[in-house]
Amino acid sequence: MVIEVFGKVLRTLREGQNLSQEKLAEYCDLDRTYISLLERGLRQPTISTIFKIADALDISPSELVKKVEMKLNS
């Protein structure tokens, strides 16, 4: 459940900044297919990946996790 919610939050944040999966992956130094797998809830990010993604989205890692937590609790 957490993995799927993380993916939905990630997609919402990425699309909110008008970023393609490819561009976000480039900013994070990750593969585009990995971003896709995260967004579809097929992979679980490591803590270092969460930090990379948060940095690329210009939010704090704690804010990213908080958004996931809030969605889980709603």
State pTM to two decimals.
Answer: 0.94
Confidence category of residue 56, pLDDT binned at 50, 70, 90: very high
Query: How large is the average pLDDT for residues 40-65?
Result: 97
Q: Which CATH superfamily is domain 2-73 in?
A: lambda repressor-like DNA-binding domains (1.10.260.40)
Tens of pLDDT along 58-70?
Answer: 999 999 999 999 9
Cα–Cα distance between 22 and 9 in angstroms, integer?
17
Q: The tokens of 15 are what? A: 């699309």
Domain boundaries, the chain: 2-73
Task: Work out the percent of the chain whose per-residue pLDDT is above 70.
Answer: 100
pLDDT of residue 12: 98
